[in-house]
Amino acid sequence: MLVLKRASDQPGVLRVPERSLWSHIVGYEGKALGHVLNEALWELERNNPEVLKGVFEALDFDRRLGRAELKALVDHFDGILLGDADLEFGDEVGRACDQLLSEFADSAGKRGGEFFTPRSVVRLMVRLVRPQQGQSVYDPFAGSGGMLLEARQYVDEHYGGSADLALFGQEANGATWAMARLNLLLHGIADSSVLHGDTLTDPLHSAEDGRLRCFDRVLTNPPFSMKHYEKEVRHPERMKYGGASLKNADLLNVQHVLATLRPDGIGAVVTPHGVLFRRGTEGEIRRAIVEDDRLEAVIGIGPNVFHGTSIPACILVLRGANGAPADQRGQVLFINAEREVVTGRSQNRLDPQNIEKITNVFREWVDIPGFSRVVSLEEIADNEFSLNIPLYVHAIPPVEPTLDVRAALFGGVPRSEFEAEAAKFHSYGIRLTDLFTPRNEDYLDFRSDGCEVIAARLPSLAAAREEEFIESC
């Protein structure tokens, strides 16, 4: 109904035939209201095949709701104007759709995790790969389309509202695929290419020469430990590191991401922690990926963040065939962000300051005791190519500060105090040299212009919090 009302209230969103007009629906007084709604959507689909083909095929209002409930819904939507001129914010319809999907995922339990990735995780992943104007973004396990939407929003914010970004995706579940198409449409995106099919066995995006299409950025959250059954697959060259006989598809999904990256592309994929240390064939695949220098970072994000599962997950940041920048080659950044989650009533989340801390440390490529560490491939090899995060970064519990008598008597800031709080400074992109100058090996002095340097950056530092506040209003 939201699609029908929006299409009628805002000319130009879709081509609306007479039987799909809201005035036709709201004026109907007969008993077959469900059939009228079905026909309205089918007609809308027939008149907009490039956007809606196949989306409403399985929909049947008569089967889901009684006439009284349908009439109440029609009356409710009739009282809401959904034209752009009637809305306080430009993307208000899209935000309403986001809220509906989030509530649906909450109520769907384990199944919710199959189509919906929490917004905070999506934001983190997009900020890790930083899509740019004119690029292509692909989600091979698109779910309800959240990754693609966040990528478009990120580019709009950084390059202007008319920024160019090509969106591609694929989704195996028919109902979820339809949900993604409608979600994108309600956010004003009608030119995406999100296709319906099994990505592992039949990837549908091909280049003109028939080879697998590659993209600038790949973002995805595949179902954890999804089953894989040996069968004929298109583009078997994707699995160059092996594992076609695996029953667990986690590392097959990772290889698909690697295979669909352009040489200078960047990808981010969510996986369960088992991917980091399981032995056998998976261990061999992991070793080959690491030795090829295709893994840039491993980020652990703590438990109970995703719908339908309380197990902790991690994000692998991957590189195209050209690999990481020269100064980062032969290394992997490990980030232990298990303490960067905020406990909620039923689910944990990443707040804007947590996201900023992780992304700033990733961009700066720095070691922070108990949080992050740059590790050589030689050390990983010494650990038999296990990527288990605690092997490289041990989370350090907070320590109560003690009074430094020397600093109290003679001035200066103990270097140890700054280092104990370094993660908080890094979370806002503030370096030691921004605020302090060395007095000696153990103590620092405030820079005379340090406060001015930070004050000038306050608007950008507060941007994430400001965005969250606006969205909550």
pLDDT in tens, 379-393: 999 999 999 999 999
Q: Mean pLDDT, to the nearest integer, of 184-191?
A: 90
- 359-370 CB burial, b ≥16 within 10 A, e <16: bbbbeebbebeb
Nearest to 120 by CA among 307, 271, 288, 259: 307
Return d(Cα 423, Cα 418) in angstroms, integer: 9
Domain layout of the chain by residue ranges: 2-87, 96-391, 405-472
Helix-helix angle 33-47:2-9, to 10 degrees: 60
Calculate mean pLDDT across residues 283-298: 96
Q: What is the mean pLDDT of residues 183-190?
A: 90
Average pLDDT of the residues in 445-470: 63
In percent, how much of the chain has pLDDT > 90?
48
Residue 408's contacts (CB-CB under 8 Å, 6 or more residues apart) are none
> Who has greater pLDDT, 426 or 204?
204
Note the helical H segments in 274-403: 281-291, 352-364, 377-382
- Cα 275 → chain centroid: 19
- pLDDT at 161 > cutoff 60: yes
Confidence category of residue 138, pLDDT binned at 50, 70, 90: very high
Q: CA angle at residue 372 from 449 to 256, to 5 degrees? A: 125
Of all residues in the chain, the percent with pLDDT exceeding 70 is: 84
Yes or no: say if 156 and 163 are a contact pair by the CB < 8 Å rule.
Answer: yes
Query: Residue 281's pLDDT is what?
Result: 92
Task: Give the residue with greater pLDDT, 165 vs 97.
Answer: 165
8 A C-beta contact, residue 312 and residue 338: yes
Q: Look at residue 343 in the predicted model and tell me its pLDDT.
A: 79
Closest CA to 22 of 76, 66, 58, 62: 76
Confidence of residue 423 (pLDDT cuts 50, 70, 90): low
Q: What is the pLDDT of residue 142?
A: 95
What is the pLDDT at residue 44? 94
Which is more confidently placed, 277 or 246? 277
Q: Which one-letter amino acid corresponds to residue 201?
A: T
- What is the per-residue pLDDT across 307-344, written as a single tens digit (0 to 9) for each? 777 788 999 999 999 988 889 999 999 999 988 888 77
pLDDT, greater one: 242 or 263: 263
Q: Residues 96-391: name the CATH superfamily.
A: Vaccinia Virus protein VP39 (3.40.50.150)
Answer whether residue 31 shows pLDDT above 90.
Answer: no
- 212 forms bridges with which residues in the sheet? 206
Please indicate whether residue 58 or residue 156 has the higher confidence score (pLDDT): 156
Under the banding of pLDDT at 50, 70 and 90, the label for residue 454 is low
Average of pLDDT values for 139-165? 90
Q: Using 50, 70 and 90 to split pLDDT, how confident is the model at 429?
A: low
pLDDT at 467 over 90: no
In terms of Cα–Cα distance, which of 287, 369, 310, 380 is closest to 336? 369
Helix locations, 27-160, DSSP H: 33-47, 49-52, 61-64, 67-78, 92-108, 112-115, 119-129, 146-159
In the predicted model, what is the mean pLDDT of the chain?
A: 86
Residue 101: its pLDDT value, please?
78
What pLDDT is attached to residue 305? Answer: 87
- C-alpha to C-alpha distance for 1 and 294, rounded to whole angstroms: 46
- What is the pLDDT averaged over residues 278-303? 94
Q: What is the pLDDT of residue 285?
A: 96
**CA atoms lying within 13 Å on the CB side of residue 212:** 23
pLDDT range class, residue 268, cuts 50, 70, 90: very high
Mean pLDDT on 75-93:
82
Which pTM value belongs to this model? 0.82
Six-digit token pair at 450?
């340090």
State the DSSP code for 332. E
- Cβ 301 vs Cβ 340: under 8 Å: yes
Contact assessment for residue 307 and residue 106, using Cβ atoms and an 8 Å cutoff: yes
